[in-house]
Amino acid sequence: MSDVKTAIMDAAERRMQQGGFGGFSFREIATDVGIKSSSVHYHFPTKEDLAAAVIRRWAEYTSELIDKELEKDPDPVRVWTKAFRGTAFSEAHMCPCTVLGAASQDLPEQVAKEVKGFFKMCQDKLVAEGLSPSKAAEVLSTITGALVLANALGDTAEYDRATRKFAASKRGRSG
Amino acid sequence: MSDVKTAIMDAAERRMQQGGFGGFSFREIATDVGIKSSSVHYHFPTKEDLAAAVIRRWAEYTSELIDKELEKDPDPVRVWTKAFRGTAFSEAHMCPCTVLGAASQDLPEQVAKEVKGFFKMCQDKLVAEGLSPSKAAEVLSTITGALVLANALGDTAEYDRATRKFAASKRGRSG
DNA sequence: CAAGGACTATCTATCAACAGATAGTCATAG
DNA sequence: CTATGACTATCTGTTGATAGATAGTCCTTG
């Protein structure tokens, strides 16, 4: 993948984290990267293509990160909680899949499909790691909602407050 | 409040539930209501005004609903879980505050403030009802995230899966 | 009661800005 | 020579917002 193509996706990802699908334009992305909007169209013919590619990349990166972290810590709940915590405390604060997922009904087909794929991947992995479907849904909902809450309240500490239980599970100082 | 003004807010609310702040235009709202876009501007000078009014109304309605339900069932966790469940299973499926909260960084000031006020209200109420701040954050995150998950996956059953534990708390058949 | 003025709510018409997208051109590198 | 990747230029449609006209209503005042 060319440097420019990666830079376009990086810029789109950053803006999608803040404003979702409607939160970026080809012109803004072009300005961010330092090229013209028509050049963005060269790499990604439509806005739908660009957004779908960004979400897919995010899903792949997340999946790989989880696998890597599971080698160091065998507790899936703690690993996933920590991974989403990294997003909450990052510069952009949000997971683009969460932003898009909240407005899923207004998304182009391909983008909605990729977003759905992301959450499906999360859930399947949690189940594969030993959790019941119900527990997997609960954990994923809590860390996803914690992201939304922390973002809306403008307070990253809210993430830790909401996930305190998970962060301490089966290894915390007190139990 | 006039019928038209209410109809405008209803239409805006519906569209905000699906696409957030960028998910509706004055013209769409006008068409929904059966008036001209300039008439929408008459009632709500700017888009920011309209969105903020919708969120504030939603917060007030939610607060009243919770108070009413608490009279029938004293368990706050079950009451809040049920209230958000109503949203998940409604036609629009989403809470507009959640949709906007996820993209909070891209919102006009007044709208972001109202969204923040909604989540603050939820949390304050949960604490006033006896939960610890940490437990309140956990519950609110879980039901908020469950809304996002169910929406993204296009499966309302996901809400029940994620909140099974809460729905049964202290009163379920088995405990 | 009737006239005047203010207010309400809608309309038509229009604006500048911005959106996504396309066609065609040009330079460079293999 | 051709493929790549950027460019210029432009199109069409939509956006939020404003100005000005027009009726209808309501309150006041003579």
pLDDT tens digits along B87-113: 999 999 999 999 999 999 999 999 999
Of the pLDDT bands very low, low, confident and very high (cuts 50, 70, 90), residue A169 is low
- Check CB contact under 8 Å for B106 and A18: yes
Interface test with A, best of B28, B55, B142 (most A CBs within 10 A): B142
pTM across the whole model: 0.94
| pLDDT, mean of residues A86-105 | 98
Q: Which B-chain residues 104-133 have CB contacts (< 8 A) with chain A?
A: 104-106, 112, 115-116, 118-120, 133
pLDDT for B21 beyond 90: yes
| pLDDT, mean of residues A94-99 | 98
How many Cα atoms sit within 13 Å of B95 on the Cβ side? 31
d(CA A87, CA B175): 37
Of the pLDDT bands very low, low, confident and very high (cuts 50, 70, 90), residue A171 is very low
CB atoms within 10 A of CB A166: 21
d(CA A154, CA A152): 5
Residue among A13, A138, A128 at smallest CA distance from A63: A128
Distance A67 CA to D3 C1' (A): 39
Distance B17 CA to D15 C1' (A): 20
Interface test with B, best of A25, A153, A165 (most B CBs within 10 A): A153
- Check CB contact under 8 Å for A148 and B141: yes
Q: What is the pLDDT of residue A160?
A: 98
Q: What is the pLDDT of residue B171?
A: 47
pLDDT for B65 beyond 90: yes
Q: What one-letter code names the amino acid at B26? A: F
Q: How many CB pairs under 8 A join A and B?
A: 180
Of the pLDDT bands very low, low, confident and very high (cuts 50, 70, 90), residue B175 is very low
Of the pLDDT bands very low, low, confident and very high (cuts 50, 70, 90), residue B1 is low
d(CA A51, CA A21): 7
pLDDT for B154 beyond 50: yes
CB B99 within 8 A of CB B20: yes
Q: Specify the higher pLDDT residue, A170 or A82.
A: A82
